[in-house]
Chain A
Amino acid sequence: MKKGYYGEFGGQFVPELLMPPLLELEEAMKTIMKSAEFCDEYTRLLTDFIGRPTAMTHCRNLSRELGFNLWLKREDLAHTGAHKINNTVGQALLTQMMGKTTLLAETGAGQHGVATACAASLLDLDCEIYMGAVDVERQSHNVKRMELFGAKVVPVESGTKTLKDAINAAMRKWIADQETTHYCFGTAAGAHPFPLLVRELQSIIGREAKAQFVEKNGKLPDYVVACVGGGSNAIGMFHDFVPEESVKIIGVEAGGTGEPGCYNSAPISLGTTGVLHGMNTKLLQTEEGQILPSHSVSAGLDYPGVGPEHVYLHDSGRVEYAIINDGQAINAFKTMCRKEGILPALESSHAVAWALENKDSIPAGSNVLVNLSGRGDKDMDIFEKYTAEYGN
């Protein structure tokens, strides 16, 4: 495959002015990230700071009801409450070792912003976070956390005022500040080498999950499931399972309200091929190539594009991508709380919902391992608004 490509997807579609920092980053991945100094320190931080390995939980009550075993990989238990921290601590350490002083990031749900701000604080880096004005409003709790960690949060008023516009704004800023600044991209998407870099840093999820599952059960799970926004928690979970042919792998995209023709966040299932944010991928777009607004009840899945490796895994048939809509995710959110004492992020609730919604087609006794990418405390305002509008 061509460098930076997954089949025909991926690439480096950026202004020439961004090529030097991308090439510099590629080089740093080959040298710094492979060094013992980086590996030792990163491993130490994963354990001592992030709290890895995260637990794997058997959902006893739900499993009894469903007729199959539901397992959760508990990224909600990682420091700051989501898988995002695995990536940001790695990139922050890389930034420090590259001799740069500032972390720049975009955020949708705010989870990646919080994780970046936290990593910056830990490693004494300056931090600037771009966030769509709509998201600033719907995730105000996370904005406060970022500011408490010392980050500057910049609301983005252009375009749809959500994640895609925050990415545009951050890319513009990176052009100007590339000498001192690393763009700590939040998901396994964007221009090469970001999809690869983020997958490397997130694949700890699948590596741990596989080892934990095999140790407990003496065999591999039958299904591995994760939600797909940009695709970082999913690719991190999937990577070690992809070569295991017996394992069915399912990525779950956000279908929005589920009404016909509604705005959604399911570019693999409902989008077409095109170029945005540095990559050739599947996009929600008009026939004329203008990017459409996306929608999901979960801010972290609300993105009109997706990481290129997922499109490749879809087209090659290795991974199945399904759609879960807002209502089904809210139902899974409540179910998990009431039955298992776990409050999942609305993003992760999409993955849980896939298991609940497919209970009739999943063979009895199967083992279904779902990546619980984050915790749902941040989503309480959205949940309350949703139930006020649609009832309990």
Chain B
Amino acid sequence: MKRVPAPGAKINVTADGRHVDTANLGFTMSPHEECAVEAGAQLVEQHGGEATVLTLGPVEAEEQVRYAVSVGMQRGVVLPITDDDWDPQRTARAITAAVGELEAADGPFDLLLFGNESADSGGFQVGIRVAHALGRPMVNGAKGLTVADGVAHVEREADAGREAYELPLPAVVGVKEGLNLPRYPTMRGRLASKKAEVATIEPTGEPGGLVTDRLQSPPERVSQTVVLGHGPDAAPAVVDVLEEIGVL
């Protein structure tokens, strides 16, 4: 799960062009991962067992880890970093090592869930790299996920329609928003999240080959808005427009 700025209407960049200006932004879980957390909570409710939430990010990401505990995760792990964005190869190396460490202590996870892509960097690859490093099957973009008899049944949308996969466990699945409707924390959940122990694992991994030089806003599309009126009296003007552009 990745901590990302919760956007206002516009995302600005700092003066040096290297970072998102978060001065007026809060933080949140990246939306696809929010659904991955919900999926984890539901699977534990259905099958028993435990779900762990893991993040690589600034120490403040503990806030999102605790939130995940408040909505159904049992354990939390933070891989703290100080520079704000690790490239995907490095991120995947660190997560692979951390999963290895957790599995050495407690046995293998049946399922690793990732977001389809993180909302901010949109790299589409960390989960796939981790799956490959661990030698596990991986499908991205899940909009349906059930587990039975040692198999994860995954469905996703494609141009031609829905397609289904059956991955033998242990497996890795990349989740897309729309898989489920994430729940809100209950009072009990909030209390549990305050008490939960959040473990720290020092991230390891050589940097990969992608270095961000600069972020910028795309060119603004300026539009001269034609205000057709105020209130329902403007209905004829709206319908005139529909006739003009030929949809009526």
A-B interaction: no
